[in-house]
Structure 1
């Protein structure tokens, strides 16, 4: 679904070094929307990162199951 919205989804091992912290999440890289997912995270946490990245986006033109749409709408309301 993220790819259908023009977002890149990259599953990578996100290295942690002294002096900085890297986390999964959405960002812009050279003008492109990218979601980085740490391969070391459990699957349920990677799904939550995707839900957070998609919540609040315009999803009217994208087919979603009713359950997926409710999940994203609840997350968008919670984020406020």
Structure 2
């Protein structure tokens, strides 16, 4: 495989590919990160506290990742660059 083919595969598969597809759709969406952080699953609503890391996508805003820790821990949020 060439470098261009590798880059294309990386950008269009796994969690990164899912986020790129959802960004084009533009609907507010929650994506639950699956084990390892390389895959994600679209979910209907914000996961409950302690439900695992998730990403929120909304048109006009960068994707935001939330650690979604258990009660009493300091939550974290940071931008993802897709």
Same fold (TM over 0.5): no
Could you state the TM-score of these two structures normalised by the residue count of structure 2?
Answer: 0.23
Flag the structure with more relative contact order, 1 or 2, with Cα contacts below 8 A and sequence separation at least 6. Answer: 1
- Greater helix proportion: 1
